Amino acid sequence: MASLRALRAELLAQPPSEAAVADEQELIELENEARAGRGDRTRLERLRDRLELGQIVATGSAAGAAAVESIARLLG
């Protein structure tokens, strides 16, 4: 998913923090699942919720908004 890759790139541009590292790891795992043709609905919902609540550093960015939109489409 391009939106997840863009969000990861924005996270990498932020000053390092434990939260940013954890967020990046979550995005990597989601990206790997998507490439394998499977996705963990719970993980997608958790990421969407965290983005919507502003709990991820890059939430206010265009990449964050695009990721929320992509996740919403995947969840139906």
Q: How far apart are the first and last CA of the chain?
A: 16
Exposure letters 9-39 (e unless 16+ CB within 10 A, then b): ebbeeeeeeeebeebbebbeebeeeeeeeee
| pLDDT at residue number 16 | 81
- What pLDDT sits at residue 8? 83
Measured torsion, CA atoms of residues 34, 70, 68, 40, in degrees rounded to the nearest 10: -30
| Residue 51, pLDDT score | 81
Query: Tell me: the pLDDT tens digits for 22-67?
Result: 888 888 888 888 778 777 788 888 888 888 877 776 556 788 888 8
Q: What is the DSSP string of 32-45?
A: HHHHTT---HHHHH
Asked whether 11 and 20 are in contact (CB, 8 A), the reply is: yes
